[in-house]
């Protein structure tokens, strides 16, 4: 048992060295506003929604049955449902770190006790493997997801540690990680898990506990990946990134969540071990993936079949898989890269992905979720029964729960910890990366205590006020990210005086000092790269950090499949309402849809509302599109 001093700061990630230091739960509080509302919904609804579903369908009681020896033949759900319980525990831990709640605290402790009771004496804990009548431990590394589940247990333990508690699940995590060191360490088997996750989890658990063996084991898993230890499968070894070593790959490929979790873990290993080659490989993979394999929403993964990245520029809007969990994994990777390098492009992508991919998943009421996030809904989805488990691939509106239900709990843990992505510190400066109503207070290592309050109606409006509450007596810096889309037109005022928005504000701050960043909110007409075949001849509209969309409930025709847009026509704009002019196409349904002549079209004009993409599908069944066909000269 380790007795090293615990690192109680840093949120989900705290590298040994980094350009920027992450802030911990005690350093940032969100107070209402856009993100505060969502964190409250998460606390009030989403957590208990997940808890109740897993209780009802037996995923939590798998642990009880494992503890009392009755789980064989009576296991509920597929073989990686343990991970959903762990992600819920992680979400609860972050939520308890955000604000204490007696009831939640009790539920958390009780659930942890049930998990810990199922742990075997040697540290192994999994409800699907290893007992008489079950498959043997580690007998199906390709598909068994054992280490994937362990990773989520360890991440839940990290959340508990970083919230200031070294109790129940943390101890279980230590026993489990020690067991893994025995089984898969330098003297153990040369193997990896088919679903990366243990790498990133072990690295952080190592950081949070101060136990170097855990980081070393993460390194071993990263290095073994790509050496062909997994058996071939139909979709090729790239499905689980086992076709080429991480440090030799140039782009993310295969199953998107797997690829992004692996890259996150590889970067953690590279950062803490000073492995510049490996870190540069991950940076390059991010660059090429963002340039060629990412949806405008930040969504990643084009294939339904294997949940995979497709080829470069293969980004079909209507068959976008763009899994919620892949968006979350992308944010995890970008956050690590931001901490490492300080480059705001990573925070830009995080913002895009949080607002336009991840936030699209939960329904307004917090009781339904998109698993995949299409950019074009061709036919109206069905409103799923709130009592039924859903198959992920069906064209429904947001569903309450899934057979593979990774997304709801992943959304829960992300919402409960999203404020930890808002800001970082250096020795004598504070960097604000994401905007929302929040109090930030931190000890700058060389300057002293700095505390600020941020107030904004962002992302609906472009003004962000940061008011200094407490300041060091010496010179300190505060910088506010200017998103790439706001490069032209952003202004920054400090106590009413203009300041270069792209420069840090550095001075001896006084309480009451106010930094006001104004970002240009005019709607922008966005064209896709010509290599993105699937959206040729269309445009999207963005406003501020939000990708907008056209939803059929706002159209007289009731369908988005039959309109075109004149990008020369003026876009009218007001708070929360961007309106464009579209024309119905009225192309009819000929007997054969390919011909030498172009259809004549009827002239008609509708002025229609665009809505934020993340909000679509909250007004009943609808069709929707992000990319709107551009009127051609002949039409």
Cβ atoms of residues 214 and 203 within 8 Å:
yes
Q: List binders of a second copy among 597-626 (CB under 8 A).
A: 597-599
Piece of 17-25, 173-181, 200-208, 531-539 that binds a second copy (CB under 8 A): 531-539
Contact with a second copy (CB under 8 A) among 202, 532, 553, 624: 532
Q: Binding of a second copy at residue 534 (CB under 8 A)?
A: yes
Q: Binding of a second copy at residue 16 (CB under 8 A)?
A: no
Piece of 73-81, 271-279, 300-308, 430-438 that binds a second copy (CB under 8 A): 300-308
Contact with a second copy (CB under 8 A) among 530, 568, 570, 575: 530
Greatest alpha-carbon pair distance for the chain in Å reads 78
Nearest 10 degrees: Cα torsion 135, 137, 143, 146? 130
Q: Binding of a second copy at residue 528 (CB under 8 A)?
A: yes
| Cα separation, 533 vs 318, whole angstroms | 13
| Chain centroid to CA 36 | 17
Q: List binders of a second copy among 250-289 (CB under 8 A).
A: 287
Measured from the CB of residue 597, what is the shortest distance to a second copy in angstroms?
Answer: 8
Measured from the CB of residue 617, what is the shortest distance to a second copy in angstroms?
Answer: 16
Q: Binding of a second copy at residue 379 (CB under 8 A)?
A: yes
- Nearer to a second copy by Cβ, of 91 and 404: the residue is 404
The radius of gyration of the chain's CA atoms, rounded to the nearest angstrom, is 25
Contact with a second copy (CB under 8 A) among 533, 576, 607, 620: 533
- Nearer to a second copy by Cβ, of 39 and 356: the residue is 356
Binding mask 570-599 for a second copy (x = CB under 8 A): ---------------x-x-xxxxxxxxxxx
| Cα separation, 470 vs 485, whole angstroms | 32
| Enclosing H/E stretch for 540 | strand 538-543
Measured from the CB of residue 335, what is the shortest distance to a second copy in angstroms?
Answer: 18
Q: Binding of a second copy at residue 527 (CB under 8 A)?
A: yes
Residues whose CB falls within 8 Å of the CB of residue 402, separated by 6 or more in sequence, listed in order: 369, 371, 389, 390, 391, 392, 408
Contact with a second copy (CB under 8 A) among 123, 316, 408, 617: 316
Q: Binding of a second copy at residue 531 (CB under 8 A)?
A: yes
Cβ atoms of residues 423 and 11 within 8 Å:
no
- Map residue 518 onto helix, strand or coil: strand
- Map residue 498 onto helix, strand or coil: strand
- Map residue 573 onto helix, strand or coil: strand
Contact with a second copy (CB under 8 A) among 36, 313, 472, 566: 313
Contact with a second copy (CB under 8 A) among 56, 107, 345, 449: 345
Q: Binding of a second copy at residue 375 (CB under 8 A)?
A: no
| Cα separation, 53 vs 348, whole angstroms | 35
| Chain centroid to CA 67 | 33
In the structure encoding, which two tokens stand for residue 548, read together?
């907008």
Piece of 88-96, 264-272, 314-322, 491-499 that binds a second copy (CB under 8 A): 314-322
| Cα separation, 354 vs 24, whole angstroms | 19
| Cα separation, 286 vs 335, whole angstroms | 12
Is the dihedral angle over the CA atoms 614, 615, 621, 623 positive or is it negative? negative
Q: DSSP H helical segments within 293-354, as ranges?
A: 324-341, 344-353
Piece of 97-105, 234-242, 246-254, 613-621 that binds a second copy (CB under 8 A): 234-242
Contact with a second copy (CB under 8 A) among 116, 393, 467, 569: 393
Which residues bind to a second copy, rule: CB under 8 A?
Answer: 234-236, 287, 290-292, 294, 296, 303-306, 310-314, 316-319, 345, 376, 378-379, 391-394, 403, 484, 524-538, 540, 561-562, 564, 585, 587, 589-599, 627, 629, 633, 635
């Amino acid at each position: 048992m380790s007795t090293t001093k615990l690192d109680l700061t840093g949120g989900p990630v705290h590298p040994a060295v980094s350009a920027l230091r992450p802030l911990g739960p005690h350093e940032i509080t969100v107070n209402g506003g856009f993100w505060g509302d969502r964190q409250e919904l998460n606390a009030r609804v989403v957590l208990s929604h997940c808890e109740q579903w897993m209780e009802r369908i037996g995923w939590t009681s798998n642990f009880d049955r494992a503890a009392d020896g009755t789980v064989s033949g009576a296991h509920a759900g597929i073989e990686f449902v343990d991970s959903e319980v762990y992600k819920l525990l992680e979400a609860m831990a972050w939520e308890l770190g955000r604000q204490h709640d007696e009831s939640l605290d009790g539920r958390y402790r009780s659930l942890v006790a049930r998990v810990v009771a199922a742990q075997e004496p040697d540290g192994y804990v999994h409800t699907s493997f290893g007992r008489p009548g079950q498959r043997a431990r580690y007998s199906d590394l390709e598909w068994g997801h054992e280490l994937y589940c362990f990773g989520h247990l360890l991440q839940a333990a990290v959340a508990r540690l970083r919230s200031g508690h070294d109790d129940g699940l943390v101890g279980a995590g230590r026993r489990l990680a020690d067991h893994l060191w025995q089984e898969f360490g330098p003297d153990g088997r040369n193997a990896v898990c088919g679903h990366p996750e243990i790498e990133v989890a072990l690295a952080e658990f190592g950081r949070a506990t101060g136990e170097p063996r855990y980081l070393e084991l993460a390194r071993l898993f990263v290095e073994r990946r790509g050496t062909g230890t997994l058996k071939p499968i139909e979709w090729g070894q790239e499905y689980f990134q086992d076709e080429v070593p991480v440090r030799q790959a140039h782009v993310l490929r295969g199953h998107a969540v797997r690829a992004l979790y692996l890259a996150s873990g590889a970067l953690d290993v590279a950062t803490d071990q000073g492995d510049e080659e490996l870190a540069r490989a991950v940076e390059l993979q991010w660059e090429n993936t963002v340039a060629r394999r990412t949806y405008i929403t930040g969504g990643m993964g084009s294939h339904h079949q294997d949940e995979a990245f497709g080829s470069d520029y293969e980004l079909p809007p209507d068959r976008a898989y763009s899994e919620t969990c892949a968006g979350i994994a992308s944010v995890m990777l970008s956050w690590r890269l931001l901490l490492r390098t300080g480059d705001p492009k990573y925070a830009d992508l995080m913002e895009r992905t949080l607002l336009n991919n991840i936030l699209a998943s939960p329904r307004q009421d917090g009781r339904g979720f998109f698993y995949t996030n299409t950019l074009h809904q061709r036919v109206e989805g069905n409103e799923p029964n709130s009592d039924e488990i859903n198959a992920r691939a069906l064209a429904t509106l947001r569903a309450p729960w899934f057979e593979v239900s990774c997304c709801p709990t992943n959304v829960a843990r992300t919402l409960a910890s999203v404020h930890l992505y808002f800001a970082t510190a250096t020795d004598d400066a504070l960097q604000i990366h994401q905007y929302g109503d929040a109090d930030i207070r931190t000890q700058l290592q060389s300057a002293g205590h700095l505390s600020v309050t941020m107030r904004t109606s962002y992302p609906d409006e472009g003004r962000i006020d940061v008011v200094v509450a407490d300041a060091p007596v010496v010179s300190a810096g505060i910088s506010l990210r200017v998103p790439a889309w706001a490069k032209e037109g952003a202004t920054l005022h400090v106590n009413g005086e203009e300041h270069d928005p792209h420069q840090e504000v550095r001075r001896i701050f006084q309480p009451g000092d106010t930094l006001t960043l104004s970002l240009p909110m005019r709607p922008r007409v966005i064209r896709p790269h010509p290599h993105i075949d699937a959206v040729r001849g269309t445009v999207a509209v963005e406003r501020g950090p939000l990708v907008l969309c056209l939803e059929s409930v706002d159209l007289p025709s009731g369908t988005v499949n039959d309109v075109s847009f004149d990008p020369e026509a003026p876009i009218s704009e007001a708070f929360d309402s961007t309106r464009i002019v579209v024309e119905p196409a009225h192309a009819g349904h000929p007997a054969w849809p390919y011909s030498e002549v172009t259809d004549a079209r009827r002239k008609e004009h509708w002025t229609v509302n665009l809505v934020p993409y993340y909000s679509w599908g909250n007004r009943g069944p609808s069709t929707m599109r992000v990319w709107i066909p551009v009127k051609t000269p002949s039409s």
